[in-house]
Each structure stands twice: as C-alpha cells, then as structure tokens.
Amino acid sequence: MSTTPLPGIGVQYDLTTREHRHLSVIAHRDGTRTVNVYRSDDPDACAQSLHLTEPETAALIDALGPSHHSPNLLSTTDLGLVAERLKLSAVSYWNGRLLGDTRMRTETGVSIVAVLRLAQAIPSPTPDFRLAGGDTLIVIGTREGVDAAAEILGRE
C-alpha cells in the first residue's frame, strides 16, 4: 500500500489486490472517505467511485475488520480463543451478586479479565467483586465457553 498526501484534501491510500485490481481510498480532512475502484484493463481509469460519510465509513470498517460476525468480538487468535464484551442486564439474576458465585471459570472455562462500569475499568476482578446491572464483562475463552458464559450471565 502506498500513501500520498493531498494538500488541502487529505491523504490517498493506494492498494493493488492479489487479483491485480487497483483500489484507492481518499481520507478527506472532514472525516469522509472516497473509495475508488479502477478498471482492470486500464488501472488509471476509475470504474467506480463511492463517497462515504463518517458513519458509513465506521460501518464499513466494522464490517471489514472482524473475522467473526459478532459486534462484540474484540479479537481471535490462532489458538481458537475469542475475547468478547458481555453486558450484564439490570434484570440479571447476577445483578448485585458476587462474581465468584457465577462459577464462570469452573462452568465454562472462560476467564473474566476486566469489568467496565460506567467510565471505569476494573482489571482482573476477584471472586468477591460485586456485579451490577449495566456492567460489561470482558471475557476470554473458546467460542463455546463464551457462548455458555453469555447464557449464564443472561439468566434472570
């Protein structure tokens, strides 16, 4: 990929795909993007141009970025682990209860690596950490384990 500054406009990123197609993205200073696809028989002739707003750009990045369809997915590894955000409902059975009472690691093999509460992050919560509705738990485990953890946390 090559980068070209466009004074007064923004930056242009050029990419040639493995199928030898030329693409460019112009990142405008106002946050919008223009995506250009060039003709295969003439890589200097633009075949299609798409102008995207900031929200459309964010949606496209979200669609292209994760390797899994879940909007809560943070990452995956070659080891078959996933990290996700799981939101605790205000009506959850676990609202106000201790994290250790969930027996999350024992039941699912999932580790809770952090809890997000309002604007605060609580890393490595201990078993005596009291859960609250609205908490977002950052969990890591197998796909099956994370799905089981979501089911446990969703219990009303």
89-105-102 Cα angle (round to 5): 40
| 58 and 113 co-located in one domain | no
pLDDT of residue 104: 94
Report how far residue 97's alpha carbon sits from residue 86's, in angstroms, rounded to the nearest whole number: 16
Q: Of 65, 61, 5, whose CA–CA distance to 29 is shortest?
A: 5
**Strand-pair partners of 62:** none
pLDDT band for position 71 (cuts 50, 70, 90): low
Report how far residue 14's alpha carbon sits from residue 93's, in angstroms, rounded to the nearest whole number: 52
* Count of structural domains, the chain: 2
pLDDT band for position 20 (cuts 50, 70, 90): confident
Report how far residue 88's alpha carbon sits from residue 86's, in angstroms, rounded to the nearest whole number: 7
| 98 and 135 co-located in one domain | yes
| 42 and 80 co-located in one domain | no
- Average pLDDT of the residues in 62-89: 70
| 147 and 82 co-located in one domain | yes
Query: Which structural domain, as residue segments, surrounds residue 13?
Result: 2-64
pLDDT of residue 74: 55
